[in-house]
Structure 1
Amino acid sequence: MTRLTAKLLPQLPEGVRPAYDPAAQAAGILHLGLGAFHRAHQAFYTDAALARDGGDWRILAVSLRSTETVDALRAQDGLFTLVERGPHGDRAQVIGAVADALAAARDSQEVLAVFERPEIRIVTLTVTEKAYGFDRASMDIEPGHEAIAADLAAPQQPRGVIGLLVEGLRRRRAADLRPPAILCCDNLPENGPLLRAGVLGFARRVDVDLAEWIAQEVAFPASMVDRITPATTDETAKRAQALIGADDAAAVETEPFTQWVIEENFPQGRPSWEAGGAVFVADVAPFERMKLRMLNGAHSLIAYAGFLAGHAYVRDAMSDASLAVLVDRHIRAAAGTVGRLEGIDLDAYRADLLARFANPAIAHQTYQIAMDGTEKLPQRIFAPATDALTSGADLAPYAFAVAAWMCYATGRDAKGKNYDLRDPREDELRRAVLHAGNDASALVAALTALPSFFPVSLRDSPAFRHALETRLAVMLDRGMPEAIRREAA
């Protein structure tokens, strides 16, 4: 079978091949975090922008850890197939927005040299929260974070993402070049201000003058991103091959729905991302709040309750009638904490979410979503629960979701089989669970006492604690399927 490369493009039909000549457009974006989501989201939007308006906005994409995807893309001239999987069939589109790929673990100095290219006007990132090393409470870096500590010790040979950004900006300044806008595309509240605070916190520790320059000159626009992108499997490559008639070792599959809301703050210009449907606003926070609480909060509920009920995929969980009732209840409750959003019908958004979760073509693993719970729950579950507590709204949806996470944190499924929590605080969680045993009250006490995690107002609320303990007791004693049935009834 022929491999997907630039030579093959003329043989692909219109609508599948890029609607422009990729080789005629130079790179203007450096991206850190070359995963499936980036290829399904930012690369997709950039492809649409190039197809409509052209411009030197192709992407130099960097994998911070692995080399496999980098090697696959380089062998394919940066091309890859995006397979959109909907209830009515699959659709393929070859994306030409990636100009080249680099592996930071292998090409670190080459990655840093990209910062010195004047044509690079934007740096985008998708690396997940735990990779940054943020201390959200103090809006600073966490000096004890493994990557942060290593890069503070050798700031001109960085391996972590914050260290790479600071050293790259130092080189940019030394070359007397205007700095790029730095756009975080991770699911974090106020991701622009948070990234700015982390970069400044690191820079102040290594070069105060550099920190001052960054504070005055570098833009950190915020954004909200949304597109369900399951982990790539062997089946992904087979689907791409069937649709385009060529082998593709970098194919990605995703849902038809996509959303990108971006703060308009790009001093050196930007691609016409609105060609792909991006929306530019002055304040991203309300949209971010809607997505984190309604979509991501419900996703976490599905992940923990669904996984422990034996549902491998989100679509399977949504076929569980009782769990689907609880998901709908959770989204409705979260919507009540969002407030009005201009141009957004929250009830229609809720209906869209339920349909997206139930999409039979998307194999999104509950175990994949369940990872990094201590990083995700504060924004997804605790924040709306705190608002509900203040307003006197029903606490049951949030109590059930948190209890499901606590049950998941025991690290044992219904058959007594152990699994990795895949959480940055896994050791702390293991110690808390070991100390508490199988007692619901003790487990609630231990997990709500984790430092810098649980909001005091929820922890000290008798009503919320009681709601947690009673639901967790059923999960531990009767199993998650029975807990779901009882809660839905």
Structure 2
Amino acid sequence: MTTKLSLANLEQVKKTAGVPSYRRSALTAGIVHFGVGNFHRAHQAVYLDALFNAGRDHDWAVVGAGVLPSDETMRVKLESQDFLTTVVEQDNNRTGAHVTGVMIGYLKPGDVAATVAQLADPAIRIVSLTITEGGYFIDPASGVFDATHPAIAADGADPENPKTVFGLIVAGLKARRAKGVAPFTVMSCDNIPGNGEVTHAAVCGLARLSDPSFAEWIDANVAFPNGMVDRITPATGPREIAIVEADYGIEDQWPVFCEEFKQWVLEDKFPLGRPALETVGVQFVPEVAPYEHMKIRILNGGHAAIAYPAALLDIHFVHEAMEDADIRAFLAKLEREEIIPVVPPVPGNDLDDYFKLIERRFSNTKIGDTIPRLAQDGSNRQPKFILPSTADRLRRGEDVIGLSLVSALWCRYFAGTSDSGKNIVFNDASADRLHAAAVKAKDDPAAFLALSDIFGEVAASELFRRRFAKALRTLWKKGTRTTLRLYLDDRLAD
């Protein structure tokens, strides 16, 4: 027998899972969060839940918001269970579930008036975002905000009817200024280097299209703290829903599964105040960049490195990829010889120890993270997680055999079939042009590197072009496993 997740049923739910010790009726909103996906509910919401359970800061509850059709699907499902979420934390030696209740409402996507009114409420002091790496309208090659993107251009031309997250934020800030209300802090929780600076550029860049003087006001008055976030959080599917029902007797339409480990490093730039997150494990530092580089290059870069060889070898789960001796050794050699050496020092952290932690996390058999999740959205992830390391090494005059192989594996993946001939299902906004370029690259490797908005200056390097071409031709001629072994034996270079 299962129990439907709801406020009314928490007494029953607590027989198998932890439940909030705070009264939901005692919470008031202090945060509007755009992008109520799995990561937000496994990360920011979990930290807030711990804080509320400690009896602290009950005026910092969350109101969800979004702009995509998937946001409406999430809103409907969460509303039907009083905005509660079952979070299942899984480690190789421990599994446990608890229910979070920090969200007290969810704005209907498309309701501009209601969203702007909520943003203009003086009680809202933070607007946070998890809108994925691809949601910031950044030109991949230059790393600069793309003010010409059709969605941004449309919001710039009609700022009273915004359709993007940034258009809504600009409208909310303008409404606050008109009412004499101090501006909220805008806090990105996405895996982007300098995510606060990137968000700042997007908000100001959009505002500048319709009201340059207001853009200057935003630049002078709104805080955009940088932050580093980390917790491996796979997608939810029928498997996860069934596990929550079978193991915990809870009927949750969209539970979240995640690893036990979590980390959040933030700059302390919150003019209107903030929750006391330092009491529940958030680290506040003067400069986030070293932590960002460590995490994005070693962890996210590691994910990007193993995704495509695993997909080409028909491996579905991340832990299964780590059980494959060739893939595990490929990751270790790549990290230690090419990625870690160009990661700047991080206060209080040994980078080799950090990589050992990453290896253990990737090897977690309980979490069920998938290769298709790691392989998605490569057109946004490769320029952020892999190519910066490649560019750094090239600037230093160092070789890029392993990093070129990562790019070649990505290209081979986008040809559309695994080594066994199985069709690959792409999940990338640029899938059509990536596929077309990858097919051409089988005979002409330079065709893939001609995607200048992705490869940028890296493609101009003769060494990188040569290493990429050799790796790609070897993948086509000898297959993924043999190519990995040639790299491991130092026999892939020409």
Aligned to 2:44: 42
Measured after TM superposition, the shift of residue 411 of structure 1 is 2.4
Deviations 1:125-165 (A, max 9, x none): 00113223234666754244242133223221112111111
Aligned to 2:384: 379
Aligned to 1:461: 461
Provide the C-alpha distance between the structure 2 equivalents of 1:128 and 1:452, rounded to a whole number of angstroms. Answer: 19
> 1:2 is aligned with what amino acid?
T
Measured after TM superposition, the shift of residue 392 of structure 1 is 4.5
Measured after TM superposition, the shift of residue 393 of structure 1 is 4.2
Distance of aligned partners of 1:432 and 1:254 in 2 relative to their CA distance in 1, 3 Å threshold: same
Aligned to 1:342: 347
Distance of aligned partners of 1:136 and 1:217 in 2 relative to their CA distance in 1, 3 Å threshold: farther
Give the 3-state SS of the residue equivalent to 1:421 in structure 2.
coil
Q: Is the 8 A contact 1:224 1:287 kept in 2?
A: yes
Aligned ranges 1:229-248 → 2 under 5 Å: 229-248=233-252
Unaligned 5+ residue runs, structure 2?
A: 490-494
Q: Is the 8 A contact 1:323 1:488 kept in 2?
A: no
1:57 aligns with 2:54: no
Distance of aligned partners of 1:242 and 1:270 in 2 relative to their CA distance in 1, 3 Å threshold: farther
Provide the C-alpha distance between the structure 1 equivalents of 2:275 and 2:140, rounded to a whole number of angstroms. Answer: 31
Measured after TM superposition, the shift of residue 282 of structure 1 is 1.0
Q: Is the 8 A contact 2:17 2:96 kept in 1?
A: no
Distance of aligned partners of 1:186 and 1:352 in 2 relative to their CA distance in 1, 3 Å threshold: same
Provide the C-alpha distance between the structure 2 equivalents of 1:283 and 1:148, rounded to a whole number of angstroms. Answer: 30
- Which of 51, 76, 81 pairs up with 2:81? 76
Provide the C-alpha distance between the structure 2 equivalents of 1:68 and 1:427, rounded to a whole number of angstroms. Answer: 26
Identical-pair percentage? 38
Deviations 1:102-132 (A, max 9, x none): 3314x33322221121100000000113223
Deviations 1:48-72 (A, max 9, x none): 1222223301100123322222112
Provide the C-alpha distance between the structure 2 equivalents of 1:394 and 1:7, rounded to a whole number of angstroms. Answer: 61
Q: Where does structure 1 differ by over 6 angstroms across 4 or more consecutive aligned residues?
A: 136-139
Distance of aligned partners of 1:169 and 1:135 in 2 relative to their CA distance in 1, 3 Å threshold: farther
Aligned to 1:165: 169
> 1:63 is aligned with what amino acid?
G
Measured after TM superposition, the shift of residue 267 of structure 1 is 0.5
Provide the C-alpha distance between the structure 1 equivalents of 2:277 and 2:315, rounded to a whole number of angstroms. Answer: 36
Distance of aligned partners of 1:420 and 1:75 in 2 relative to their CA distance in 1, 3 Å threshold: same
Aligned to 1:483: 483
1:200 aligns with 2:207: no
> 1:386 is aligned with what amino acid?
A
Give the 3-state SS of the residue equivalent to 1:401 in structure 2.
helix
> 2:113 is aligned with what amino acid?
Q
Q: Is the 8 A contact 1:189 1:285 kept in 2?
A: yes
1:282 aligns with 2:283: no
Aligned to 1:211: 215
- Which of 90, 93, 96 pairs up with 1:91? 96
> 1:157 is aligned with what amino acid?
N
Distance of aligned partners of 1:15 and 1:271 in 2 relative to their CA distance in 1, 3 Å threshold: farther
Give the 3-state SS of the residue equivalent to 1:91 in structure 2.
strand
Deviations 1:191-222 (A, max 9, x none): 11111111111101111232122111110111
Provide the C-alpha distance between the structure 1 equivalents of 2:57 and 2:470, rounded to a whole number of angstroms. Answer: 58
- Which of 216, 240, 256 pairs up with 1:252? 256
Q: Is the 8 A contact 2:26 2:58 kept in 1?
A: no
Give the 3-state SS of the residue equivalent to 1:103 in structure 2.
coil
Give the 3-state SS of the residue equivalent to 1:224 in structure 2.
strand
Give the 3-state SS of the residue equivalent to 1:134 in structure 2.
coil
Distance of aligned partners of 1:204 and 1:413 in 2 relative to their CA distance in 1, 3 Å threshold: same
Provide the C-alpha distance between the structure 1 equivalents of 2:288 and 2:52, rounded to a whole number of angstroms. Answer: 24
Deviations 1:373-402 (A, max 9, x none): 221222211211222233344422212211
Provide the C-alpha distance between the structure 2 equivalents of 1:244 and 1:275, rounded to a whole number of angstroms. Answer: 29
TM-score (norm: length of structure 2):
0.92
Q: Is the 8 A contact 1:323 1:485 kept in 2?
A: no
Provide the C-alpha distance between the structure 1 equivalents of 2:89 and 2:375, rounded to a whole number of angstroms. Answer: 24
Deviations 1:259-280 (A, max 9, x none): 1111110011111222332111
1:399 aligns with 2:415: no
Provide the C-alpha distance between the structure 2 equivalents of 1:334 and 1:388, rounded to a whole number of angstroms. Answer: 9
Give the 3-state SS of the residue equivalent to 2:402 in structure 1.
helix
Q: Is the 8 A contact 1:6 1:76 kept in 2?
A: yes
Q: Is the 8 A contact 2:378 2:428 kept in 1?
A: yes
> 2:321 is aligned with what amino acid?
A
Provide the C-alpha distance between the structure 2 equivalents of 1:341 and 1:486, rounded to a whole number of angstroms. Answer: 33
Distance of aligned partners of 1:301 and 1:211 in 2 relative to their CA distance in 1, 3 Å threshold: same
Provide the C-alpha distance between the structure 2 equivalents of 1:136 and 1:323, rounded to a whole number of angstroms. Answer: 27
Aligned to 2:492: none
Measured after TM superposition, the shift of residue 414 of structure 1 is 2.4
Provide the C-alpha distance between the structure 1 equivalents of 2:11 and 2:221, rounded to a whole number of angstroms. Answer: 43
Measured after TM superposition, the shift of residue 481 of structure 1 is 2.4
Q: Is the 8 A contact 2:194 2:289 kept in 1?
A: yes
Measured after TM superposition, the shift of residue 447 of structure 1 is 1.9
- Which of 99, 105, 130 pairs up with 1:100? 105
> 1:35 is aligned with what amino acid?
G
Q: Is the 8 A contact 1:61 1:101 kept in 2?
A: yes
Deviations 1:391-444 (A, max 9, x none): 3444222122111111122223224444343333334323433444x22xx12x
Aligned length, in residue pairs: 483
Provide the C-alpha distance between the structure 1 equivalents of 2:418 and 2:142, rounded to a whole number of angstroms. Answer: 36
When structure 1 is superposed on structure 2, of 2-11 and 287-296 the one drifting more is 2-11
Give the 3-state SS of the residue equivalent to 1:481 in structure 2.
helix
Distance of aligned partners of 1:373 and 1:136 in 2 relative to their CA distance in 1, 3 Å threshold: closer
Deviations 1:278-299 (A, max 9, x none): 1111111111011111011110
> 1:446 is aligned with what amino acid?
A
Measured after TM superposition, the shift of residue 40 of structure 1 is 0.4
RMSD across aligned positions (CA)? 2.0
Give the 3-state SS of the residue equivalent to 2:98 in structure 1.
strand
